[in-house]
Structure 1
Amino acid sequence: MILHRKIQKIKKRLLAIGAIVEEQVNLAIKSIVNRDKDLAQKVIDGDVAIDLMEVDLEEECLKVLALHQPMAVDLRMIIAVLKINNDLERIGDLAVDATERAIVLVEQEPVEFPFDFTFMSQAVLKMLKQCLDAVVNLDLELAAKVCASDDAVDAIHAEVYRKVAAELVRQPQHVSQLLTYLSVSRYLERIADHTTNIAEDVIYLIQGNIVRHQEPLS
């Protein structure tokens, strides 16, 4: 019973981190769209709390492993939490990286996005929300859907690269802005990668199967 209560507490702390990270990504996207330097700074300042929470949760998981030596499903839960915790922290870092690009854009001459930023950002946000919902509900089908979505985001990023390359030829005077937008696309694509990692860890938690590097589940 003590182990069960500690695992439930750990899971709640993980979900709390997930909620904060999701909000950070939302704010980062808004700061880029609105060229909002103050909002960007809010995202940057908020990353410290995520880092501290990530370290605290990792320490708690290691204590449970050392003191209670969980087995089977309980052991998979702790391992999954440790991995998901790390991916959430990295998503928080990437939100900051993207937000720092917003600060750069504020100081540059406005240039229209050379790609459909709204479509790409919404696709990534949807993946993030779905992977967190999969964690909450231990939803195998939803986790598989997140994994399947990653290829689409990769394809969007590849298209962004092609469009930015074309615009660099057409608008060489805007090289700095265009490369900044390419960086934003890359950060979003990496966030999608980490949401996929989380979804794969949910699958591992439910089935005990490591699906990384395998074909997406249908």
Structure 2
Amino acid sequence: MKILKSRMEKFNNRLLMITRYVEETLEKATSALFDRDTNLLEDLEDAHLKIDFMCTNLEEEAIELLGLFSPIGQELRIVSMGLKISYTLKEIGHFISDMVDSSKILLKLPKSSIDDKFNKMTTTVIEMIRESILSYIDLNIELAKNVCKKDDLVDKLYSELKNKLMRKSVTSSNEFVKNCTLAFLLSVVERIGDLATSIAEATYYIATGEVRRCFGDKLEVLSERLEERKEFED
């Protein structure tokens, strides 16, 4: 059906436009934090609202596609997973807003000793979003698997840096505020990484029709993982 094909292409292109905007916004938020650029932070203040608006419009389009054309097979998976990815991008937008607000607090305080590794963590998360988008564009399951591997690295960095913050002695109220804000920011970036994996999982489902989830550094079949746990419990 030519009309459906044309509408599907339009839907896909809009989804890709949103994902690229989210990636660029996260890159800017990260640069603003580590370059201590208050002007850039101000520019990003309403970015999450733009993401929310674009995603809401895309979700309305997806519902219209489902209602008018009743797609099946891979086309149905693309639309249904497009809805899921749109929700994920909206969530990332809200987390970027949290990141911007927290960065404004941190830029008033001295630099932290964990900045280098935290920068590595945020850079890895940006790579995850980029690769999850590319995996979606090309339906590349190897790239989707690579996103899971990077999420495992992000989780390890998160645990390491959080433990380091918890062990630090606090000698002033400013240091207490800085450590609490950093701990919150760490959790925000780690959560964005988790959301990037959900895009990779959606890509795998679109390409294969198989439901897989990231466990550790691998994309595993969800039903098999549940069976393994059931056997272990028995």
TM-score (norm 2): 0.87
Distance 1:74 1:142 in 2: 21
Q: Identify if the C-alpha distance between structure 1 residues 99 and 157 changes in structure 2 by more than 3 Å, giving closer, same or farther.
A: same
Q: Distance in 1 between matches of 2:100 and 2:11?
A: 29
1:155 and 2:151 equivalent?
no
Written as runs of structure 1 = structure 2, the 5 A alignment for 1:130-209 is 130-167=131-168, 169=169, 171-173=171-173, 174-209=175-210
Counterpart position of 1:60: 61
CA distance in 1, matches of 2:149, 2:142: 11
Query: Do the aligned residues in 2 keep the contact of 1:27 with 1:39 (CA within 8 Å)?
Result: yes
Deviation of residue 114 (structure 1)?
2.7
Instruction: Provide the residue aligned with 1:112 in structure 2.
Output: 112
SS of the residue 1:118 aligns to: helix
Q: TM-score, normalised by structure 1?
A: 0.93
Q: Distance in 2 between matches of 1:106 and 1:148?
A: 32
Match for residue 4 of structure 2? Answer: 3
**What residue is the counterpart of 2:94 in the other structure?**
93
Instruction: State whether residues 128 and 150 of structure 2, in contact with CA within 8 Å, keep that contact through their aligned partners in structure 1.
Output: yes
Distance between the aligned counterparts of 1:176 and 1:149, measured in 2? 30
CA deviation string 1:42-98 (max 9, x = no partner): 112222211111010000000010010001111011011111111111111111111
Partner SS for 1:132: helix
Identify which of structures 1 and 2 has the higher relative contact order when contacts are C-alpha pairs closer than 8 Å and 6+ apart: 1
Unmatched tracts of structure 2, length 5 or more: 221-234
Contact 2:170 2:176 in 1 (8 A): no
In 2, distance between residues paired with 1:102 and 1:17? 24
Q: Give aligned-pair identity as a percent.
A: 30
After TM superposition, give the deviation of residue 213 of structure 1 in Å. 6.4
Map 1:7-86 to 2 at 5 A: 7-86=8-87
Aligned length: 216
1:144 deviation in Å? 1.1
CA distance, structure 2, for counterparts of residue 120 and residue 213 of structure 1: 18
Distance apart, 1:131 and its partner CA? 0.5
User: Which secondary structure does the structure 2 equivalent of 1:209 belong to?
Assistant: coil
More divergent stretch after superposition (7-16 vs 31-40): 31-40
Alignment root-mean-square deviation, CA? 1.6
Moved more, 92-101 or 51-60: 92-101
- Partners of 2:161 and 2:38 lie apart in 1 by 24
Q: Secondary structure at the match of 1:217?
A: strand
More divergent stretch after superposition (113-122 vs 76-85)? 113-122
The aligned amino acid for 1:28 is A
C-alpha change, 1:172 and 1:151, in structure 2 (3 Å) is: farther
Alpha-carbon spacing, 1:30–1:190, altered in 2? closer, same or farther (3 Å): same
How far did 1:15 drift? 0.3
Residues 147-198 of structure 1: CA distance to partner in whole angstroms, max 9, x if unpaired? Answer: 222121111111111100112x254541110111111111110110000000
Output the CA distance in 1 between the equivalents of 2:164 and 2:139: 39
